[in-house]
Amino acid sequence: MKPTKFLLSAAAAAITAGAASAEDMTLVSWGGAYQASQQKAYAEPYMEMHPDVNIVWDESSAEAVAKLRAMNEAGNITWDVVDVVASDAIRLCDEGLAMEIDPDTQLAPAPDGTPASEDFGDLLVSDCFIPQIVYSTTFGYRTDLVGDTPPDDICDVFDLEAYPGKRSLEKRPINNMEWALLCDGVPKDEVYDVLATDEGQDRALKKLDTIKDSVVWWSAGADTPQLLADGEVVMGSTYNGRLFSLIEEQKQPVAMLWDAQVFDLDGWIIPAGLSDERKQRALDFIYFATDTQRLADQAKYISYGPARKSSAPLVGKHAELGIDMAPHMPTDPNNAKNTFLYNYEFWADYRDDIDAKFQAWLAQ
Amino acid sequence: MAALTPISRKPLSMVLPSVALAGAFAGIFVGAGNGSVPMGMIGGAILIAGLAWFYISVLGNERLAYWINILGFGLAGFVFAGIGGGILGLLGGWFFVWFTYWLYEGRYRRKLLPYLTAQQVFFHYLFRVICGAIFVFLITPILVVLPLSFNAQDFFTFTPEMLRLDPEGYSLKHYRDFFTNNEWQRSFKNSLIIAPIATIISVSLGTLAAIGLSQSHVPGRRAIMAILISPMIVPLIISATGMFFFYSDIGRFLEGTLGMNKTFVGYLKVILAHAVLGIPFVIITVTATLVGFDRSLTRAAANMGAGPVRTFFKIQMPLILPGVISGGLFAFITSFDEVVVVLFVGSASQKTLPWQMFTGLREQISPTILAVATILVVISIALLTTVELLRRRSERLRGLTPA
């Protein structure tokens, strides 16, 4: 029975050793290069300043809404700060699962004293949402598979003659429907009006029908980079930061097609119903992690634009590659010649209907 | 006896279609790689059948045919696809010329009984081919992972450098990442804490339950048995959902009312949940071993004055140990591989290795996962080999022949 005793005592020692160290604070994020940038820009400096706090990551942002609902129901909220996209933050806020934040008292002002509410401006799309980055969903293409005239127009995605081969699109209606309508001749400012009607939705699906056989559908942000690296697809949509890492860090023969990139926001929420002690700690972290310098620091590691106006001038070079990050930002004037603003309210209202239609169309 | 089976040459009308079929099969892969499967099949069939006809009817020298075919295929493979293709070509060339002469000279009958009909011979080999195919389907997915884990790139892709066997295309960086990355190390440590403790709990409780349930006087033992092994039968996602709410309440009680440490309670919840999943495996294996256990031994021990506990450890336990160990192995692997329950019951501080691999696959397709998979495969093989060797040793010591 000796080995058993040894194992037991070793395990007990390991557990108590873990318990005796700093208090765990669980941050929820998306994994990958994005989470790594948060780790370096926010978590590491914060833990250095607060040795009593130990930050633990949970890569569950994709299921944040469902999981927070379940945690709330079970009365067992294990998360302290959660990174979500703006639309999820709006849903969580409406359902009372996220805590409301007063930007001017609970967030850091800009270095020149401008209050946070002005510094973030209209990016504060919900009372519970603390914006962190502006990212875009856009296309990358294989430079070696597109011939002599690389695509420079979003409608090239729908042009199977000029650019034969597979393309990868996200397995959800958002963005795809808008792009389809744009390329079916709908002016940019009328896209959501058209998409609100049944005929408009059918029209978008009909346009998507023209390339359906050549589409590989993705559901995780890492899929398109993998497909592009494999040469399985000629072009594909994904988050611009993933493409940046594919092109600049992995040195793959891929280039960006910025046309009609769709801007979206990502940021933090604090779950409702934390104990006072945990709430204070979470607020303290948020205050630190969303100040002007920290947001600018994050852009050293990944090509997402900081959400504060005051951070933009501080964006410098990539921490390891030493290249200027500004030209890789989705907000850079050269990249943002033709952008598309994602309409939260529209999708909040129509998402369920169009989702059902889209899934039915996929299954046909 | 079997070696006395007389063999004779077979007609070309039987040899050529057979080798053509094999050629067509190989042609599927070559054709798929070059765009057209039907063309590959036709080309492969014609090429192989043509070569076979040439060697048999024109050349008539087996040794020379071997050299021509092996070197020819190897050279062709090398020209088209570099060193990797060359090696594949040598192997393919050897196989086809061997296959041709194996059929033509009737060597396939040499080791079989002389009175078998053609149909029986055919099914004899068909059976082996099917077994081989099953083996390939089982093992290839695991083998593919091994070289990919040495990829110098951050993708699940066989790069051209790798296919050329260029050292530049290989690197140990994913292994380095596993050993230096905090998240991987934490999850590895968690797995090493959770799995052994859960195993010890499952083995102790499962063995006791199996022994109790094997007594004929226990009332309702079938019903109890059914309940105990239900975690194995109920879909995991359903047990996991139930466990999530159940252990949330327990956790709240332990933390809130008893004031226990949050991290400790977190581990406790996952360990208990995994122990529940492991118990059915232990019960089933131990029950199976108990069937062959001779009850009169315990009575003899009691007769000589040993108490039940002493009897158990000195008499019963050593005899059912193989069942206990294999049950323990199953319980360990269940906990070590488990991702659904830990996703529900655990919090991020209890992130285990499968959880980390799961999120890694979903959020960032990183070959570090493949490096970890390779390490786990090696550990599993080492573990199973050790247990098997120990088992044989103990059986030898007890004078039994290894089964």
User: Of B136-140, B324-328, B362-366, which range is least confident?
Assistant: B362-366
Least confident of A322-336, B199-213, B319-333: A322-336
Query: Can you list the alpha helix ranges (DSSP code H) found in A75-220?
Result: 86-94, 103-106, 116-120, 176-183, 191-195, 198-209
Tokens representing B65? 């045919």
Task: Using an 8 Å CB-CB cutoff, list residues of chain B that contact chain A.
Answer: 153-157, 183, 186, 189, 193, 196-197, 200, 244-245, 248-249, 251-252, 261-264, 266-267, 347-349, 351, 359-360, 362-365
Query: What pLDDT sits at residue A290?
Result: 92
Residues A137-263+335-363: name the CATH superfamily. Answer: Periplasmic binding protein-like II (3.40.190.10)
Residue A60 has pLDDT above 60, yes or no: yes
Contact in structure between A302 and A277 (CB atoms under 8 Å): no
Residue A12: closest C-alpha in chain B:
B193
Taking CA–CA distances from B251, the nearest residue in chain A reads A76
Ramachandran assignment for B275, one of left (phi > 0), alpha (psi -120 to 50 degrees), beta (any other) = alpha
d(CA B394, CA A119): 74
| Among chain B residues, CA nearest to A218 | B362
Give whole-number Cα distances, A344 to A97, A124, A145, A264, B42, in Å: 19, 12, 35, 9, 56
Residue A176 has a pLDDT of: 93
Minimum distance, in Å, between the CA of residue B60 and any CA atom of chain A:
47
Q: Do domains A22-134+265-324 and A137-263+335-363 have the same CATH topology?
A: yes
- Pull the structure tokens for residue B283: 């019960």
| Three-state SS annotation for A284-302 | HHHHHHCCHHHHHHHCCCC
Q: In chain A, what residues touch B197 (CB-CB under 8 Å)?
A: 7-8, 11
Confidence band (pLDDT; 50, 70, 90) for B4?
A: low
Min distance A73 CA to chain B CA atoms (Å): 9
In chain A, what is the straight-line distance between the N-terminal and C-terminal CA atoms, in Å? Answer: 62
Among A288-292, A309-313, B101-105, name the most confident range: A288-292
pLDDT band at B77 (very low <50, low <70, confident <90, very high): confident
Burial label for A61, CB within 10 Å (0-12, 13-18, 19+), is: buried
Position A1 scores a pLDDT of 42
Residue A250 CB-density burial (10 A; 0-12 exposed, 13-18 middle, 19+ buried): middle
pLDDT of B277 reads: 94
Comparing B166 with B227, the larger pLDDT belongs to B227
- pLDDT of residue B86 exceeding 80: yes
Instruction: List % helix, strand, coil for chain A (3-state, nearest 5).
Output: 50, 20, 35
Residue of chain A with shortest Cα separation from B154: A250
- Which helix H or strand E contains A316, and what residues bound it? none
On whether the CB atoms of residues A210 and A106 are closer than 8 A, the answer is no
DSSP, residue by residue, B182-200: HHHHHHHHHHHHHHHHHHH
A158 contacts A211 by C-beta, under 8 angstroms? yes
What ipTM was assigned to the predicted interfaces of this complex?
A: 0.71
B112-133 average pLDDT score: 89
Name which of A14, A74, A221 is nearest B248 (Cβ-Cβ).
A74
Which residues are paired to A264 by β-bridges?
A135
pLDDT averaged over chain B? 87
Architecture of domain A22-134+265-324: 3-Layer(aba) Sandwich (3.40)
Structural tokens at position B19: 């080798």
Q: B111 pLDDT exceeds 90?
A: no
User: Residue A11: is its pLDDT beyond 60?
Assistant: no
Each residue's pLDDT tens digit, B283-308: 999 998 888 888 899 899 989 999 98
Domain boundaries, chain A: 22-134+265-324, 137-263+335-363
Q: Are A26 and B349 within 8 A, CB to CB?
A: yes
DSSP-assigned states of every residue in A41-69: IIIHHHHHH-TTEEEEEE--GGGHHHHHH
Q: Is there a contact between B189 and A75 if contact means CB atoms under 8 Å apart? A: no
CA separation (Å) from A295 to A36, A44, A220? Answer: 14, 14, 25
CA dihedral of A356, A359, A360, A361, whole degrees rounded to 10: 120
Mutate to test the interface with B, among A59, A69, A274 (most CBs of B within 10 A): A59
Q: What is the pTM of this model?
A: 0.75
Residues 6+ apart with CB under 8 A from B398: none
